[in-house]
A = this chain, B = another copy of it.
């Protein structure tokens, strides 16, 4: 997606060997008009699947999924990261290791909101080691629902999450795949 790659090149800041900061438009400050184009692009890539629900994870995934939901016209469910007093006790749970925060956390989705008849598209902002995606897949499987695919805004192609999902024959669409950081400069894989 050229518009997205352009923004990454213009505004992305590479920190160290592995961190790409895109908080001016993606995950701290958000550009709603760019998100509209992202939502439309996910819709175009998955519109032939019979998606009944979008699934994401708090926090940054929510903005992407809700705008995509305007095109898919289906409900969005976001997995919660910490136990909330207001969440149903009857939940699907999975465990996710965060390399960024170097800690393991639980994610939860109320059983009310994913049913065996659902066809799920998982959406998220980043894919690196794929731990969050695997946790969400685990929840889809626990619910007995059908996983139709995964849509990612920025995949770090030099980390193993994307390859593992493709090896599992999951339909993965990443709008920008970062190949490497060379002297603080981002280069993309085609795709």
Contact = CB atoms under 8 A, between A and B. Distances in A.
Interface in A65-81: 65-67, 69-70, 72-78, 80
A30 B78 contact: yes
A127 to B, nearest CB: 15
Assembly of this chain: how many copies?
A: 2
Nearest to A36: B70
A101 B66 CA distance: 25
Given A28-B87, A67-B67, A86-B19, A73 B33 contact: yes
Interface of A: 15, 19, 21, 23-25, 27-33, 35-36, 58-60, 62-63, 65-67, 69-70, 72-78, 80, 84-88, 100-101, 109-110, 112-113
